[in-house]
Structure 1
């Protein structure tokens, strides 16, 4: 199955961050970026509250769901459920190094079991008609990244994987926290490029430590796209440049101020349904970073949006802190 060009840029799946409100906000900033859910385990999908875990708004498309697990039958059932919900892609997590994930025998520890990962991919491919992709590391612990990544890639591609998203650093499963595993092991973008040169027909997307669109473009070489995580979350204005710079399309809004205004109906609907303002504004704290008034903007949202009954007036007042200073500077 051919993946569409939205894989040129994606926002990474991030636990506790890329929930449905975060994705709806990011979609306001880019029409073309591919968005990913937080990781959800296959048993949770099968036995849990599916509407809460899997629900999303139609505006999020293209949107992919990331699954965690290592049981082919369970992953196949979960993938079928997710496809029925309308997701555009199922992504298998072979990169998370947390102790909890290791205890469940999935995530990065599966780098040691390429045959099992291939069985999982084959089972999911047999159960759904949408793309099935794999997000992996270049190796774990003392593995040789040249051998480990090739072994995993060859097996999952043979099993039908539609793309590989390569977090271009090892994971250390003992002695480093998940946070340290995002920074301490050295990045090796060249390893991802060598994989693409060996498997030119396979879509391969680069992930890990990319801080800007310019850096991502400089590192891509033969690769098919880039995935940004923390950089896109902590400085979401990056996303306003995605459509014009990577897709040759107009941005959805002229600037961040217009994007926030366009996002207000979504926030209002959430509030009317009984939700809290902070459920959404916590994902907007990085907006306007580096501008005059941005500190006051963050402080106001952090302190006032959490109060019971906080509404759109809080967000508007916070944005006005920045806008007044921008207008004054332009005068």
Structure 2
């Protein structure tokens, strides 16, 4: 029987890890699987709970980081240490419904698909402003990156081993998994599902955290923002030149003296703002380049029950 490795990033999820395991056990009674919990530097009793589950379940593995490295690092660590022929990435809070797993496994095993992924078709239970910005992100991301990332795409997916191997060949430090999953290609089947609220606990993702994550994703897959300053500079230069001609003509024809302190100040502030924005965008890309050149490890393992890690 094909072994399924389920990669589960965890950060302060002591209430969820046991509930998640019970759901998987109930759903995958007829499948051979392992669960690989990645403790991402949790400050609560998440690691203790995971160890207890590992002691009583031989198919429960875990990796515990030395500190919080982030979900992207946890996903990478899980993919790197998964031993199954099929690899699944899931959230521990059960917002990724385990009930979809049998269909996903069947599709990737018997149909001509390398990846079967889930996408949310609704956002019920979420604040409207969060839904609006999520929709806006997908539109902007696809437009400026020339990619076709499915709206509502999640990290929840079952992949064949060659797909995971392709993803692991990109050991970049600044990771945006949704984009990487799409970038490597392969035949993908999408399974729609309705949004599900967390079973227990509260999300660790704040609104500004999601905004920052979105910016990281855009910077990781396009250099278009670097070109925006060129377009803005060209446009403003043309407008300024036309305005200069208008002032000269007015002065020659009507002897109209140069006026408009407010106009001058607005122009200075506008140009200053655009310059600072351009420098900020450039700095963001330099920051990413700087971090990549350090070649620091994506994660550091403090302890694990995997022998060859």
TM over 0.5, yes or no?
A: no
Which one has a bigger Cα radius of gyration?
2
Give the TM-score band, short-chain normalised. under 0.3
Q: More relative contact order in 1 or in 2 (CA 8 Å, sep 6+)? A: 2
TM-score when normalising by structure 1: 0.22
